[in-house]
Structures are given as structure tokens and as C-alpha cells.
Amino acid sequence: MIELKNVSKLYESNEGNVLALNNIDLTVEKGDIYGIMGLSGAGKSTLIRCINLLECPTSGEVWVDNVELTKLSSNLLRQSRRNMGMIFQHYHLLTSRNVEKNIAYPLELNGLPKNQIKERVDQLLDLVGLKEKRSNYPSQLSGGQRQRIAIARALATNPKILLSDEATSALDPITSRSILNLLKEINNKLGITIVLITHQMEVIEQICNKTAVLKDGNIVEQGLVSRVFKAP
């Protein structure tokens, strides 16, 4: 489903260069919940942003669904990106739009007719369990509720892949667990492949089947969670 081949990322600046990723090879299969773990500065954020090319690798290849993204024109890349939804630590909801309009936003961009948008938004609100909040604004929601809306929006266009950039890091442990359970349910029920980054081992243990540990831009450990984290 996702394959990174020999991916490196060098940030160049006057203050000095940083090799954020060093020859990364990573394979994510359909149906995986793949967790990338590491300390702050390890390269997690750069790595996940290389999957949808929000960040362009300095060298190497990125393949998603048998397409080499690193070779695509910007138009075709935009199409391929529709295969991937993304959620963030601070939700990135549009503060001037209510819940319904936040979820509808990517569908409006795709030019979906109004009645189909309404139907899809209803389905998504049902999925994340927040039908009663449809007219509220993000400022009127808790952190966990905001993340649920962000998840609904990320899934609006039916992507095959969901990328999660520290989605539970700003939440208390109980809310965090409920969001992780929702992600697990989405993976199970809808067959969506999930790649997440986190600095918390508990997140990996709770929902991931596979993991890679990043350290200073290198993968130092990789494989089934049951193998990587359990004592021999």
C-alpha cells in the first residue's frame, strides 16, 4: 500500500544542514495500523509528511497504491493525495465554519452536489458519534470532540489511507484512549490503512500491529509490535 525506498531528507539552511531522514526503507501493507515512534527531533514528522509529499524527499522513492508519487506532476499528485486523509495534534479545524461545514469542506472542493454532501456528512457524524454537535463551532467543542470532527473530515472523500500526526498528544489519557479506539474501529470496519506517528509507546501498544522506531533519522527497529515490544 505504501512503500518508501531509500528515502532521505536533508534540510539545508544557513545555521547548518540537518539530515532528518537517512535512507529510510518502509513498507506498510493494506490494513496495517503502522506506528512510527521516536523522541522529539527523530524525524517522525518529516517521515509522515514524505508519505503524502507535503515534504519532498531529497532522494529516494515514495510509492502509494502502486504509483510513484515522487514522479508525478502536481496535478496527478493532487489526485493521488485524495487517497490519503490526515489528522493533526491541534486538529486544524476551520474556526469560522461549524462542524457540518468543516466536514463538508473537502467535498465542496471536489464539487460534490449539495444533497450528496449532506448525506455523506450525516454518515460521517454518525461514524464519529457527534450528530448532536453538527451546528456547533470548533471553539464550542472539547479537544476530543474536535479530533473526532477532524477525523470525519479526513475521511470525507473516502481515502484508503489515514495519516495521523500525534493526533492524541494534546489529549488527556481517557480522551486519548477513546480516539485511539475510534481509529481502530475505522481500520477494522472500513479497512482503512493507518500510519501514525507518536512519542508515546502506549499509543503503539494500544492499536498498532506494526511499528518502526526512528532515531536521528534512522530506523533502528522495525516489525510486528508483538515482536518489537515483547520480551523474548
144 or 159: CB nearest ligand ADP: 144
State the pairing for strand pair 59-64/2-11: antiparallel
Q: Would you state the torsion angle of the CA atoms of residues 95, 170, 154, 26, taken in this order, to the nearest 10 degrees?
A: 150
Q: What does residue 209 show for φ and ψ, rounded to 5 degrees?
A: -95, -30
CB of 218 to ligand ADP, least distance (A): 12
DSSP 3-state of 44: helix
Shortest distance (Å) from residue 76 CB to ligand ADP = 25
Q: Which residues bind ligand ADP (CB under 6 A)?
A: 11, 13, 18, 20, 38, 40-46, 90-92, 142-143, 146, 170
What's the closest the beta carbon of residue 28 comes to ligand ADP, in angstroms? 18
- Given phi > 0 = left and psi -120 to 50 = alpha, else beta, which region is 165? beta
Nearer to ligand ADP, 33 or 150 (CB): 150
13 or 66: whose CB is closer to ligand ADP? 13
Q: Please, what is the minimum distance in Å from the beta carbon of residue 143 to ligand ADP?
A: 4
CB 104, min distance to ligand ADP, A: 19
Least CB distance to ligand ADP at residue 99 (A): 13
58 near 66, Cβ under 8 Å?
Answer: no
Shortest gap between Cβ of 189 and ligand ADP (angstroms)?
27
Measured from the CB atom, is 159 or 217 closer to ligand ADP? 217
Three-state DSSP state, 16: coil
Residue 19 or 112: the one with the smaller Cβ distance to ligand ADP is 19
The answer to whether the CB of 163 falls within 8 A of the CB of 44 is no
Question: How far apart (Å, rounded) are the C-alpha atoms in residues 58 and 155?
Answer: 29
Decide whether 117 or 168 has the Cβ nearer to ligand ADP.
168
Q: How would you label 33-55 residue by residue, b for 16+ Cβ within 10 Å and e otherwise?
A: bbbbbbeeebbbbbbbbbbbbeb
As given in the structure block, the three cell numbers for residue 98 are 461549524
| Cα distances (angstroms) measured from residue 80 to each of 10, 13, 86 | 24, 30, 13
Q: Name the residue nearer to ligand ADP (CB basis): 13 or 75.
A: 13
Question: Residue with the closest Cβ to ligand ADP?
Answer: 45
